[in-house]
Amino acid sequence: MTMNLLEGRKLVVAVTGGVAAYKAAELVRLLGKAGAQVHVVLTRAGARFVTPVTFQALSGNPVWEDLWDARVPNNMAHIDLSRDADAIVIAPATADVIARLVHGLADDLLTTLCLARTCPLLVAPAMNRQMWEHPATRRNIGLLASDGALVLGPDAGDQACGETGMGRMLEPETLCEAVVRFLSPKPLAGRRIVMTAGPTFEAIDPVRGITNISSGKMGYALALACARAGAEVDLVSGPTGLAVPEGVRCTMVRSALQMRDAVNAVITGADVFIGVAAVADYRPDQAEEHKIKKTGDGLTLSLVPNPDILAEVAARPDAPFCVGFAAESRDLDQYATGKLRAKRLQMVVGNLVQDGLGTDDNRIVLYDADGRHPLPHASKALLADKIVEHLAGLLAAARPARSGA
C-alpha cells in the first residue's frame, strides 16, 4: 500500500456485531497508515467482539457508540460525523444491519448516520454462508446496491461456524485497496489499457531455460495505479510470484510467444499498450523433450530471435497509444530516445538497471515528444502513480476518452 494515498480524507468506519470485527481493527490501522483520518462507530453488538479501547488506540480518535453522545454540543453525532466525511465504510456488515439499512430504520447511531449521510456508503458483508444465500439477504443486497451503496465482497472460505462457503468478509488489505481505488482521482476513466509485466522464460529442456532478471514489481505497481486511476486493465504477465493487483484482469504466460498470443487476444480496441515485461530477446530454436545430461563436453545452443511485441503493437493499423520501457546499463538517454523514435512510441520509461532491478524502489526518466522528464528516486508504487499522472496528461492532449466514461 502506497503511503498517504488517503491523505486529507476523513473516513467513518462502522463496526457491527460479527466475528469478522477483529479484521476491522486491522482495516482501521491500514486506512490510518494510508493517511486517512479514521473515526470509528461501534455498535453495541460490535463492542461484544472488539472493545472501543482497541479502535481508539488504532485510529487515534475517540470511538462513537451512542446516538445521544454528549460530546457533540448539539447531540447530533449522526449529522456531524457524516457531513465532512469522504465515505462511510461498514465492516463487517451483518445481515441484520444490511436489512435495517435497506428498510431505512434509524434506531441507533449507525443506522441514523447512514440515513442522514451525504457521502458514499461502502458495505463489506460478513455472515454465515446460509445467511448469505438466504433469499431475504440476496434481495436486501440488491436493494442496497440499487440505492447507491458499493458492496465489497464477500469472499468464499472457511468460516467461524466451521463451515466453508461464501460470506467471509474480505481481508483488510483488500478492503483498504478497494477504499483507495474508490476515492482515488480517475484521470484514466474510460480508457482500456493492455500491459505486459515480468520476465519470459524460454525453455531449453524441461528444467532449464533462458530468461531475464525481472521481479515484475514495476509492472504490477503500474497495473494497480492504472486501475486506481479508473482504467480497465488487462495484464499479461510472465512468471513472477506476485499477487494479481486488485481490479486487474490477468493472463499468466511463460514464453515470449505465449505473451504475444495473449496480447493479440486482448489488444483490439485498447486505448493504451504498455510494454513493461522483460521479454527474452532470443529462444532456443528447439526445446529438448527430456533433461539434457551433463557429459563434461561443451554445449552449443542454436537461438532464434523472439518477436518484438511492443514494435508489433505499435505498427498495427489501429495502434493504441504505446508506452515502452528501457532498462539499460549505460547511455540511458541515447538508448531510450532511440527506442522512442525507432518503434514510433509515444512515451518511454527509462532506468539504469543498477538503480532498481529487482528492488522495491527505482530512479526513472520519462521520455516523450517534449524531451526527458526525470523523476526523483522513490518507491516503485509512488513512481507508478507519477507515470500514470504523466500518461494521463499525454492522453488527454492526444486522444479524448471514450464517450460515456
What's the sign of the alpha-carbon dihedral 199, 202, 208, 212?
A: negative
The H-assigned helical ranges of 299-376 are 309-314, 332-342
With 0-12 CB in 10 A as exposed, 13-18 as middle and 19+ as buried, what is 229? Answer: buried
Which grid coordinates are listed for 351? 532506468
**On the CB side of 120, how many CA atoms lie within 13 Å of its CA?**
14
Distances (CA, A) of 252 to 206, 244, 287: 19, 10, 20
Alpha carbon distance 132, 125 (integer Å): 9
Alpha carbon distance 238, 197 (integer Å): 6
Alpha carbon distance 196, 190 (integer Å): 20
For residue 125, what is the enclosing H or E element? strand 121-125
The residue with cell 471514450 is: 402
Please, what is the Cα angle at 185 between 183 and 188, to 5 degrees? 130
Tell me which residues are annotated as active site.
161
**Burial profile 179-201: b = 16 or more Cβ within 10 angstroms, e = fewer:** bbbbbbeebbebbbbbbbbbbbb
User: Is there a contact between 132 and 163 (Cβ–Cβ < 8 Å)?
Assistant: no
With 0-12 CB in 10 A as exposed, 13-18 as middle and 19+ as buried, what is 249? Answer: middle
